[in-house]
């Protein structure tokens, strides 16, 4: 049985608590948080002076709070890991063996923990600690990838393009349809299928649309329909990038 | 029993043939195409001189071929419909009652017809023909929306943003990870979940990431990592658009 201490009760913390509680061979020995929260029989405590002994201390706090929170626990020679995509392990208090346990997934109140596929990007300061993080992933039934800080930064950047920016494109589509009294729901199955397609095809090979076909008539029609200059420029930029990709 | 004639054996034509063949109360009376194709007992014919009588003639041909193909069939006073997102029904030969039967979905060889959700955008020249297209949607078990040409053009534009351009963002993420020897598969669950989220939340409310949090340190780190000027500009544009959205 591996004992975990979880620090933080935001979306990441809550999802990890649920994951741990639903897996065998893992036990939450303590759930630390300034704010009150609970899941099944587990309750948070804000008593940072009585820290119980755990095999791994998992910091699920905001990027800016990692350093401070890790000092507050006042631990020595323990395996402490954060869950941030952008930070190095050395933002954690250096009295300890440090590491990163970064879940490459988006967590919200709405999504169901058990239905989420969560690829884990793991890194440790000392080689011998890697086995423990791998065991933890195995117990949680999560796929893992050993990723150092340089690569994790790149992954984080790629995720911003493929996810944050995609979501903003959905948002633009939502605004365009709403303004014209069209039900946004009509677009949802296509959005789903576009994301599904890359499971089978490389994105470049899955590309469709007027820019891919170099259909100048449709492209000009679309540019005439767009009244917002930012969206017009975005349309032109993507059209050019997709056309350039065709030439390769 | 409704009799359909399907013209064209590209991806759209093939998917419709499969849908029709797997639904009761519908019959393919003829499948016309210049190229040979077959599905179960149905085979294409290229004999455009012997056109059988059908209740609806469904043109699943490229935008540029609609007009010519509809003339070639030499029909009079029949219900003929095309499947294009951008064209008006009047590109079809005017000896007939015309309409549009536009599936707002992306069709490829890879996707499975029966697993696809296909919202139908329908329009007819004459009111009385609308009932027939609605019945056709019901027989195919497809959701339908009565959408005129003006709205269909807007939907098509919105689909270019939310799908064609999203796919290009996946492509950029693929290039960034590949260049740095990182497995693109790590990003796939996050891409899926981002598309799933909008089933529960408005896209603007689902927005996450450094731009949404106004996390200037991470944004600057990302801009330093980007060597390609086009991607850098795209990053800046999206960041600004997401920040502006925050202010609303």
Read off the pLDDT of residues A177-234 as tens digits, 9 standing for 90 and up: 999 999 999 999 999 999 999 999 999 999 999 999 899 999 999 999 999 999 999 9
Q: Beta strand pairing status for A97-103 and A120-124?
A: antiparallel
The residue segments making up the domain with residue B210 are 152-247
When scoring B112, B123, B158 by the number of chain A Cβ atoms within 10 A, the one with the most, hence best to mutate, is B158
Q: Is B248 on the interface with A (CB under 8 A)?
A: no
Question: Nearest Cβ partner of B194 from A166, A202, A230?
Answer: A166
What is the Cα gyration radius of chain A? 22
Q: Which of B170, B176, B212 has its CB closest to that of A154?
A: B176
- Average pLDDT score over residue span B58-66: 95
A203·B168 Cβ contact <8 A: yes
Q: What is the DSSP letter of B238?
A: H
**Domain at A111, CATH number:** 3.40.50.720
A25 and A121, same domain (yes or no): yes
A67, A186: one domain: no
Burial (CB < 10 A; 0-12, 13-18, 19+), residue B244, is exposed
Does A223 lie at the interface with B, CB-CB under 8 angstroms? no
Query: Which residue in A239, A241, A232, A106 sits closest to A172, CA to CA?
Result: A232
Mean local confidence (pLDDT), B142-170: 97
Do A93 and A211 lie in one domain? The reply is no
A121/B183 Cβ within 8 A = no
Partner-chain contact A160 B188, CB within 8 Å: no
Highest mean pLDDT among A61-65, B19-23, B167-171: B167-171
Structure token digits, residue B30: 């003829």
Among residues A126, A147, A168, the one where a domain terminates is A147
Say what the pLDDT of residue B248 is. 61
| Chain A residue at shortest CA distance from B199 | A188
Task: Give the pLDDT confidence score for residue B108 in this predicted structure.
Answer: 81
Whether residues B188 and B235 fall in one domain? yes
Q: How confident is the model over B35-41, as a mean pLDDT?
A: 91
B109 with B37, same domain: the answer is: yes
Same domain as B142, residue B21: yes
Question: What does pLDDT average to over chain B?
Answer: 95
Residue A79 near residue A93 (C-beta atoms within 8 A):
no
What are the CA-CA distances from residue A111 to residues A117, A144, B8 (Å)? 11, 21, 42
Q: Of the candidates B244, B10, B224, B57, which has an alpha carbon nearest to the alpha carbon of residue A175? A: B244
Q: What's the pLDDT band for A112 if we cut at 50, 70, 90? A: confident
Q: Is the model's pLDDT at B14 over the cut of 70?
A: yes
CB contact, 8 Å: B163 with chain A? yes
Looking at the complex, report in whole angstroms how far the Cα of residue B119 sits from the nearest Cα belonging to chain A.
6
Chain B positions touching A242 (Cβ under 8 A) are 164, 168
Phi/psi of residue B164, each to 5°?
Answer: -60, -45
| pLDDT for residue A123 is more than 90 | yes
Spell out which residues of chain A touch residue B180, defining contact as CB-CB under 8 Å.
Answer: 151, 154
One domain, residues A139 and A223: no
The per-residue pLDDT for B103 is 96
Q: Which residues of B touch A11 (CB under 8 A)?
A: none
Contact (Cβ atoms closer than 8 angstroms) between residue A175 and residue A187: no
A107 lies in the same domain as A52: yes
DSSP single-letter state for residue A212: H
- Contact B234/A at CB under 8 A: yes
| In a shared domain, residues B180 and B136 | no
Task: pLDDT band for A110, please (50, 70, 90 cuts).
Answer: confident
Residue among A4, A194, A161 at smallest CA distance from A80: A4
Q: Which residue has the tokens 């993080």?
A: A133
Please indicate whether, in this complex, the C-beta atoms of A199 and B208 are within 8 angstroms of each other. no
- Residue where a domain terminates, one of A116, A147, A178: A147
Q: Which of B117, B200, B230 sits opposite A189 (nearest CB)?
A: B117
Handedness of CA B20, B21, B22, B26 (dihedral sign): positive
Q: Do A13 and A81 reside in the same domain of the chain? A: yes
One domain, residues B168 and B191: yes
**What is this structure's pTM?**
0.92
- Domain end: B122, B147, B172, which one? B147
Mean pLDDT, to the nearest integer, of B91-104?
A: 97
Give the count of domains, chain B: 2
The answer on A121 and A64 residing in a single domain is yes
Domain containing residue A183: CATH number? 1.10.1040.20
**Phi/psi class of residue B96: alpha, beta or left (left: φ > 0; alpha: ψ in -120 to 50)?**
beta
């Amino acid at each position: 049985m591996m004992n975990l201490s979880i620090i933080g009760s935001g979306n990441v913390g809550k999802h990890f608590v649920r994951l741990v509680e639903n897996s065998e061979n893992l036990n939450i020995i303590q759930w630390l948080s300034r704010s009150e929260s609970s899941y099944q029989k587990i309750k948070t405590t804000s008593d940072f002076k009585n820290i119980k002994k755990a095999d791994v201390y998992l910091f699920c706090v905001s990027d800016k709070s990692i350093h401070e929170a890790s000092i507050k626990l006042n631990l020595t020679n323990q395996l402490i890991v954060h869950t941030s995509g952008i930070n190095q392990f050395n933002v954690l208090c250096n009295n300890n063996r440090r590491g990163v346990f970064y879940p490459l997934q988006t967590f919200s109140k709405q999504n169901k923990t058990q239905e989420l596929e969560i690829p884990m990007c793991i890194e440790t300061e000392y080689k011998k600690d890697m086995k423990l993080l791998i065991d933890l992933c195995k117990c949680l039934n999560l796929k893992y990838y050993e990723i150092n800080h340089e690569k994790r930064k790149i992954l984080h950047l790629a995720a911003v393009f493929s996810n944050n920016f995609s979501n903003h494109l959905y948002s633009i589509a939502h605004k365009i349809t709403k303004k014209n009294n069209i039900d946004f729901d009509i677009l949802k199955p296509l959005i789903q299928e576009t994301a599904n397609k890359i499971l089978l095809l490389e994105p470049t090979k899955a590309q469709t649309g007027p820019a891919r076909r170099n259909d100048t008539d449709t492209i000009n029609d679309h540019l005439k329909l767009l009244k917002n200059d930012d969206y017009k420029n975005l349309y032109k930029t993507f059209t050019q990038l997709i056309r350039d990709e065709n030439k390769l």
